[in-house]
Structure 1
């Protein structure tokens, strides 16, 4: 039970029951109070002329002087005949003149005369009930009947009749109390039981969705990341469910990314270790050979060994430098130094640098450049590196006899598009989102064309393009080739005056 009231359903139910109890008790109190007022008003209206009718019995005893014995005897006789009433004779100020009670029972010798004056007015019937002081109690007020009466020759007084005598009250109190208590208990119990049943059912269905939220969140907390909440309406619970679903999707995506990053991190370490170990092992082997065969090596052999060592040192230095460059891009330390320059001239220079390598691989390397292409506004050194990395990547994965094309296009007045396409084997669609990851290889084999690379070229190219507020994209089809492309902002002071014409340069 204690655990039940700790739940939201239990707390709402308890509050509801308390409210029902308070409302029921209030209703019973108001009903009893209204019933009492109704009885008082009915009694006073029924006995409205009682004092006036009784006044005729007292008038002969009050003409010349007060005959107390006769007055008391008459009061006693009337009270015996009607035990519901208490009869008093009061003067115009409210002092008691005659009554049939023991003196010690009288708690006040003087009563408030104003209610009596209000009652004897002709218009008082519509203002009932009117309550007056009870001489037998210092605080109690009761309904009454009153009539003016002349005491002696000229003194004004009143016959004051309490309609619920002390004896009647004593007899009726127990009966009334038992009825009121019984009626109140039945009414309150009915309200509580009915309200509790209806309220519990209602709140059970209202909190059902909240319990479902709790169950789903707990399951999610315990590792079941597939848990989601149904969104069935537009209320606050549905908004909470939608927010949880979005949060769960984000968390699940982040977990997948973390798992993928962990795999990539392991592969990165393995690849770095391999790329460092291979040239180091080669350098070590050639140096040991030179040391062991120092006297027997010819001049040409020594030169060949040293050239191989230099090549491996150069590759190793390039790898370290590219790792260092990537770390600077990650830390936002490398920012482009923008300036206007001719992208056509830069592209031509980079292609000429790779032309001998392409010829050695029997690959046709061509450019397609428009005439009078506007200047672009970028970091010339960084863009040269992007072009070099993309052309190098295309040459390494294009077979002998294939073709690599470098194309520049004027997309609009603000952009120039640079694209590098090849006729290689292409990239599977499932691998396209990862081609810019460090050391990611579509073919896990590390045997490639004779042009060696560090495996970081595309990652560096992506970072450089993003630093220029652009995006590098890739499109590929298996056995049809691959194209990488990105856009650069033009230098706004330049005007494109001539129509676009394409020429082929070797």
Structure 2
């Protein structure tokens, strides 16, 4: 039972039953009170002229003096004929002059005359029931009243209580048990039928919540494919849609984490290889120079030192790329845009790579459209982008191949395209070439492929500039990388680094 009331269905059912009980009790109390008011109003309306009719019987006993014995006898006789009423004779101030009752039963010898005056005024705006004081109790009861002339010309009142003490005793004895039993039966009947209907309704309403709870529980236990069927557009339907969207996001994030973890493992293996091989080579050459210091000729020593220097340069380049990529990831490096000549920058970068292309007998071709305008961007970062793309093209182009660098304007943008005549990129690798540490060439050959960070750095820099880069390639037909920069508009406010970011 405790477990049931810990559930949402149990709590809602308990609250519903409590509210139903309270509302049923309130309704019964209001209904009983309304019924009593209706009875009182009806009783007073029907007996409105009772006191006036009785006043004619009392008047003979009030001609010269107050005949108490005759009045008491008359009151007693009338109350025998109608036990439901009690008759009192009052003066104009409301003091009791005559009645038929034991004196100890009279608790109030003075009656408030304000309700009596309202009753006898015959004002059409007066609404029944009008409640007056009961001489035998502290309660207010309905009455009938009429003005009567007392001896000496003074005015008094015939005051008739319409619910006598005997009547109250009978009602409390008979009517009380009837009302109590009827009320209890009605309340139980309401609770049973409304409870059954409410339980069925709440069970159906919470059934969707239970399904959602099971789905969330299964998802928490590792079933990331679990989803909730959306059956409506209400709040529960919106909650189901939100959970499904969240589950999709979490599942994609987990897949991305697994992918990143695989890349991280591959990174560790690749970087370990890239660090270990040059370090081992440097160590071997240094040990050889140390062992043969006295017998080694200058030419051989110079060759060894050049090999060591190349290894250190490669290591420095690898560390620099890792550091640069980490700063781009952490947004520590942000572009500082300024107008510059993309044509001059491209010529400088191509000259820098000309010796590398000549060593591989690669024809490095540059085609630059005349009178190109300045563009907006961070010149240092764009230099890095062009350098990485040309280096990547030369690296994957076989000997006697060619690399083309084309620069042209289209509308308000300048496009830069770098093409090579290499083996191209397989279709399945195209979506991943900008992933960090991803290499199309899986072997760690020194003759092809770098650390796998160059294109990742290119993508990060262009993303920081708000620029997309496109790749087109077919196996055996080389690859083509294209991106564009906005033409500098002198009359417009220059973009700040914050705007671009």
Shorter-normalised TM-score: what interval?
A: 0.7 to 0.9
Partner-residue secondary structure (3-state), 1:286 = helix
Q: CA deviation at 1:152?
A: 3.3
Partner-residue secondary structure (3-state), 1:135 = coil
Contact 2:471 2:482 in 1 (8 A): yes
In structure 1, what is the Cα distance between the partners aligned to 2:115 and 2:387? 113
Q: Does 1:192 align with 2:191?
A: yes
Q: Does 1:492 align with 2:489?
A: yes
* Distance of aligned partners of 1:57 and 1:429 in 2 relative to their CA distance in 1, 3 Å threshold: same
CA RMSD of the aligned region, Å? Answer: 3.0
* Distance of aligned partners of 1:31 and 1:334 in 2 relative to their CA distance in 1, 3 Å threshold: closer
Between stretches 59-68 and 334-343, larger displacement belongs to: 334-343
Q: CA deviation at 1:178?
A: 1.0
The 5-angstrom pairing of residues 290-439 of structure 1 reads: 290-293=289-292, 300-334=299-333, 340-400=339-399, 402-413=401-412, 415-439=413-437
Relative to the length of structure 1, the TM-score reads 0.86
In structure 1, what is the Cα distance between the partners aligned to 2:442 and 2:291? 36
Partner-residue secondary structure (3-state), 1:3 = helix
Q: CA deviation at 1:164?
A: 2.0
* Distance of aligned partners of 1:354 and 1:73 in 2 relative to their CA distance in 1, 3 Å threshold: closer
Q: Does 1:268 align with 2:267?
A: yes
- Gaps in structure 1 of 5+ consecutive residues: 495-506
- Matched residue, 1:503: none
* Distance of aligned partners of 1:121 and 1:468 in 2 relative to their CA distance in 1, 3 Å threshold: closer
Q: Does 1:202 align with 2:201?
A: yes
* Distance of aligned partners of 1:311 and 1:67 in 2 relative to their CA distance in 1, 3 Å threshold: closer
In structure 1, what is the Cα distance between the partners aligned to 2:336 and 2:55? 120
The 5-angstrom pairing of residues 162-177 of structure 1 reads: 162-177=161-176
* Distance of aligned partners of 1:267 and 1:140 in 2 relative to their CA distance in 1, 3 Å threshold: same
- Matched residue, 2:498: none
In structure 2, what is the Cα distance between the partners aligned to 1:75 and 1:266? 113
Q: Residues 238-287 of structure 1: CA distance to partner in whole angstroms, max 9, x if unpaired?
A: 33333333333333333222222222222222111111111122222333
- Matched residue, 1:106: 106
- Matched residue, 1:212: 211
Partner-residue secondary structure (3-state), 2:481 = strand
* Distance of aligned partners of 1:61 and 1:490 in 2 relative to their CA distance in 1, 3 Å threshold: closer
Between stretches 342-351 and 82-91, larger displacement belongs to: 342-351
In structure 1, what is the Cα distance between the partners aligned to 2:139 and 2:336? 100
* Distance of aligned partners of 1:154 and 1:307 in 2 relative to their CA distance in 1, 3 Å threshold: closer
Contact 2:219 2:225 in 1 (8 A): yes
Q: Residues 38-84 of structure 1: CA distance to partner in whole angstroms, max 9, x if unpaired?
A: 22222233333333333343333332333333322222222222222
In structure 2, what is the Cα distance between the partners aligned to 1:91 and 1:79? 21
Q: Residues 412-462 of structure 1: CA distance to partner in whole angstroms, max 9, x if unpaired?
A: 22x2111112233322333223322333212311226x4674433223333
Q: CA deviation at 1:175?
A: 0.7
Q: Does 1:478 align with 2:472?
A: no
* Distance of aligned partners of 1:386 and 1:145 in 2 relative to their CA distance in 1, 3 Å threshold: closer
Partner-residue secondary structure (3-state), 1:207 = helix
Between stretches 281-290 and 28-37, larger displacement belongs to: 281-290
In structure 1, what is the Cα distance between the partners aligned to 2:333 and 2:58? 120
Partner-residue secondary structure (3-state), 2:2 = coil
How many residue pairs end up in the alignment?
A: 491
- Matched residue, 2:44: 44
In structure 2, what is the Cα distance between the partners aligned to 1:19 and 1:283? 86
Q: CA deviation at 1:377?
A: 4.1
Partner-residue secondary structure (3-state), 1:372 = coil
Q: CA deviation at 1:225?
A: 2.6
In structure 1, what is the Cα distance between the partners aligned to 2:336 and 2:42? 102
In structure 2, what is the Cα distance between the partners aligned to 1:165 and 1:340? 108
- Matched residue, 1:19: 19
In structure 2, what is the Cα distance between the partners aligned to 1:303 and 1:329? 39
In structure 2, what is the Cα distance between the partners aligned to 1:492 and 1:131? 94
Q: CA deviation at 1:181?
A: 0.8
Contact 1:118 1:124 in 2 (8 A): no
Q: CA deviation at 1:189?
A: 2.0
Contact 2:441 2:449 in 1 (8 A): no
- Matched residue, 2:282: 283
- Matched residue, 2:81: 81
Q: Does 1:90 align with 2:87?
A: no
- Matched residue, 2:496: none
Q: CA deviation at 1:341?
A: 4.3
Q: CA deviation at 1:142?
A: 2.0
Contact 1:134 1:162 in 2 (8 A): yes
* Distance of aligned partners of 1:279 and 1:156 in 2 relative to their CA distance in 1, 3 Å threshold: closer
* Distance of aligned partners of 1:44 and 1:466 in 2 relative to their CA distance in 1, 3 Å threshold: closer
- Matched residue, 1:136: 136
- Matched residue, 1:497: none
In structure 1, what is the Cα distance between the partners aligned to 2:257 and 2:76? 104
Contact 2:85 2:161 in 1 (8 A): yes
- Gaps in structure 2 of 5+ consecutive residues: 492-501
In structure 2, what is the Cα distance between the partners aligned to 1:218 and 1:398? 54
- Matched residue, 1:154: 153
* Distance of aligned partners of 1:83 and 1:403 in 2 relative to their CA distance in 1, 3 Å threshold: same
Relative to the length of structure 2, the TM-score reads 0.87
Contact 2:118 2:126 in 1 (8 A): no
- Matched residue, 1:498: none
